[in-house]
Amino acid sequence: MELAGQKALVTGGSRGIGRGIALELARRGADIVINYNSNSTAADEVVAEIEKLGRKAVALQADVSDFAAAGALVKGAVDALGGLTILVNNAGVTRDKLLMAMKEDDWTTVVQTNLGGTYNVTQQAIRSLLRNRDTGARVVNITSVSGLVGVPGQANYSAAKAGIIGFTKATAKELAKRQILINAVAPGFIQTDMTDAMPQAMLDEMLKMVPCARIGEVDDISQAVAFLCGPGASYITGQVLVVDGGLTM
């Protein structure tokens, strides 16, 4: 298995895209720490699925928007796995509103969780990744097409996700010589709990903008992340892999 011996921390890994990423990395041989904020039952279910694959898995609670909590998460992951070679920053929230109706807390919560959380975890994981860089240390940040084109009603989310792209490129330049490769994946419309709750008419309108004429699956994202974590991506860093069915062409 191409990721045998790898030790991965996936933030926001209890459901949706994070869950899919954690399971795919485990299928390819990695041991996994699942980070969750509030849903311990979902996190435990992912752990059980990973253990059925024969890999080690641990669930750790932490609000990544809090710097100290993110540091405790990193320490817990390193202690649980005996090191860290892969970090996937996936944790995020949305509070969609038009700017005129957007409260300060709507802005702060989204930016601090999505962008701040990516900084909080990565900054405190770097030393552990450096100790294991000979085994192929990787960081993959989950951004969004919202950070590429901007979406009305998502000024907070679009700003945070655009910030993650800038963060990815800056840190990739800092750490490339130390053999830590840092990339981002930008999902488009993906079938998750959020899209399941949308009215069919809204989904139909969204699909009109997608050349591939379908909503993406979680597996489309998890496969992209796994590729960037694997040996086939050993000369790729500072890039944004857009997985959107052609939406942003």
CA distance 93 to 65: 11
157 as an active site residue: the answer is yes
Q: Taking 80 as the threshold, does the pLDDT of residue 147 lie above it?
A: yes
Q: Taking 80 as the threshold, does the pLDDT of residue 1 lie above it?
A: yes
Whether the CB-CB separation of 93 and 120 falls below 8 Å is answered with no
pLDDT in tens, 215-243: 999 999 999 999 999 999 999 999 999 99
Select which of 36, 119, 157, 235 is catalytic.
157
200 pLDDT band (50/70/90 cuts)?
A: confident
pLDDT score of 196: 74
pLDDT score of 75: 98
Q: Taking 70 as the threshold, does the pLDDT of residue 23 lie above it?
A: yes
Buried b (16+ CB within 10 A) or exposed e, 145-166: bbbbeeeebbbbbbbbbbbbbe
pLDDT score of 223: 98
Q: Give domain 7-242's CATH architecture.
A: 3-Layer(aba) Sandwich (3.40)
Single pTM value for the model: 0.95
Whether the CB-CB separation of 46 and 25 falls below 8 Å is answered with no
